[in-house]
Amino acid sequence: MNILTLAHNDCDKKELFGWIGEACANPAVRTALGAPITSTPGDVWLLAIDDQKLQGFCAITLLKSGKAKLHAFHSELSTTSGKVESSLIGAAVKQAEKMGAQSIAVVDYVERHRVYDLQGWKAGVERGKRFREYSKTLNGGK
């Protein structure tokens, strides 16, 4: 499995949406995420590709505060989703560091806490009954 990094910009936009367009339009994927999939220019997307098939994806937005927001994180396109999600989370941390972020945060299902615990993320505030924020301080962050 390879992680393909694409920016949401004029150069990469066509390739990016060629990879994720079908998944973004799939109601089951949107339901699994608990929110619509969004992207704005400047976002960096990480795509897990195996045998020329999309296995999972996520996006990183660098906020003005210097924090990175991980969103649109979906790894259930694969039968080996545990490996895909672990690879995507690791790649997201590295990409956020490259982007100069001090920390990275994601809002995900409460029951997925082990995924983040295993990679050193801290559980934060609950967002409603089903979601929780997880965050990680990055190299150089305080």
Provide CB contacts within 8 A for 11, sequence distance 6+.
Answer: none
Query: What is the structure's pLDDT at 75?
Result: 82
The token duo for 5 is 């990094």
Which domains does the chain carry? 2-101 (3.40.630.30)
Query: What is the structure's pLDDT at 141?
Result: 57
Query: What is the structure's pLDDT at 78?
Result: 66
Q: What's the gap between Cα 21 and its chain centre?
A: 16
Query: What is the structure's pLDDT at 55?
Result: 92
DSSP 32-97: HHTS-----TT-EEEEEEETTEEEEEEEEEE-TTSEEEEEEEE-TTSTTHHHHHHHHHHHHHHHHH
Q: Under DSSP, is residue 136 helix (H, G, I), strand (E, B) or coil?
A: strand
Provide CB contacts within 8 A for 140, sequence distance 6+.
Answer: 97, 102
Q: What's the gap between Cα 84 and its chain centre?
A: 11
pLDDT digit of tens for each residue in the chain (142 aa)? 899 999 988 777 889 999 999 888 888 888 888 888 888 899 999 999 999 999 999 999 999 999 999 998 888 776 666 788 889 999 999 999 999 999 999 999 899 899 899 999 999 999 989 999 999 999 865 5
